[in-house]
Structure 1
Amino acid sequence: MRRRGMMAGLLLAVLMVLSGCGSSFPADPEGTLENVRGGTLRVGASMNGDWVRINASGSGGLSSNDVQGTEAELVKDFAARLGAEIEWVAGTEQVLADELKHGGLDLVIGGLDDKTPWVTHAGTTRPYAESRDGRGSLHKHVMLVPLGENAFLLELDKYLMEVKAEQ
């Protein structure tokens, strides 16, 4: 009988803790989704064939017309869904992954696959597309997001899976 009382007390304590947590799962510790929705989506773009093409005019920052390709179009549609403007930043994968890690970007694209070495710097979406290279190797494509920004990641994953289902 005493054991049941202890178990009931433990269960009650767990329920109280969980009810105090609210329903904000998944969460973004840095508020990425909240900041982007109706605001600005800061996107790092690394050139990579048909995935990302950058045609910079050389005058100041990049516009949405300067960044083209399969992933760029996905990001433009995702930003529109969130009511966000896009601030584009061009660079190498290494520079962009480091900028993402330190909070300067919300998303990195560049034809990356699920074997990207940047998983120590970033979270990845679920693979949303596949391609084969010239050697016949299969690549499962992902995008990079800030580590721990799970609400933003979930929103992006849902969007990418919807697009994949429509194809």
Structure 2
Amino acid sequence: MSLINTAVKPFKATAFKNGKFVDVDETSLQGQWSVFVFYPADFTFVCPTELEDLADHYAEFKALDVEVYSVSTDTHFAHKAWHDTSEAIKKVEYTMIGDPTGVITRNFDVMIEEEGLALRGTFLINPEGVIKLCEIHDNGIGRDATELLRKVKAAQYVASHPGEVCPAKWKEGEKTLTPSLDLVGKI
């Protein structure tokens, strides 16, 4: 079953953010758009490149009223240690959720059970706590924050313009489509 258009399941976790440990739960997501980015583990290879890319674009996400949450099955203590020792991760200002029990990772159906690690899963959650985008892929394939930003803008546009949809490669300011009988077979 797809997680699209389902509510985020209840969870409680401790996270590392801006030098502090903070509590996070599903109610923390209410009232703003949120991105959950699951990754396998701290102190690895592709993961710091992705988290650094998100950090480099964090101001753009914030300008769109989007909070970013990275999630792995490491502890919040491991996140702090990684933040303190990695030049790439030192750039991270968004919330780094520790999920050592795997509850959140399982809630989003990205747990690799035999390894206790997460797949690379990206989820966009609307201000009501409903999942609007889900992308899961193999751990050898890194993600691109600019492509995620494009998708966030498309989701926000569709949410604020009922009856319109964004075609492939749509970028902010470009023409959208209004599905109708007149368009059938003409695209």
> Normalising by the residue count of structure 1, what TM-score does the alignment of the two structures yield?
0.28
Higher strand share: 2
> Normalising by the residue count of structure 2, what TM-score does the alignment of the two structures yield?
0.26
